[in-house]
């Protein structure tokens, strides 16, 4: 089984802190629509661990999640298990396979 590491890295003008918050996708609580919003106000990079492959990715023009988060203009990736992860476009999503 391959575990994928999705790393959300914020664009920064200053040097990165080297801190990473690691989250397991299967431990995150999606809303009723299967959506998760990652808000990174701490300035740390975020890594999301999952075995679930990405089936779609892009940028939402206009969208409000069932939990009431306006994610218009946010980047997203949808996983094969049905969850969709939204994150600010100021973050970059990289995928790394780990055994």
Q: Are 76 and 87 in contact (CB under 8 A)?
A: yes
Q: Are 98 and 17 in contact (CB under 8 A)?
A: no
**Into how many domains does the chain fold?**
1
The string of pLDDT tens digits covering residues 34-74 is 999 987 666 667 778 888 888 998 999 999 999 999 999 99
Mean pLDDT taken over the chain: 78
SS3 25: helix
Range of the domain at 61: 3-98
Share of the chain above pLDDT 90, in %: 33
Which residue in 36, 46, 59, 60 sits closest to 6, CA to CA?
Answer: 46
How do strand 45-50 and strand 54-59 relate by DSSP bridges? unpaired
Average pLDDT over residues 88-96: 70
In whole angstroms, what is the distance from residue 55 CA to residue 9 CA?
Answer: 21
């Amino acid at each position: 089984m391959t575990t994928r590491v999705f790393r959300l890295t914020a664009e920064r003008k200053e040097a990165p802190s080297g801190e990473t918050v690691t989250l397991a996708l299967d431990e995150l609580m999606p809303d009723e629509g299967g959506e998760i919003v990652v808000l990174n106000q701490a300035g740390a990079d975020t890594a999301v661990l999952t075995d679930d492959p990405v089936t779609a990715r892009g940028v939402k023009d206009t969208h409000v999640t069932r939990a009431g988060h306006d994610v218009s203009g946010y980047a997203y990736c949808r996983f094969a298990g049905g969850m969709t992860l939204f994150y600010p476009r100021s973050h970059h999503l990289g995928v790394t396979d780990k055994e």
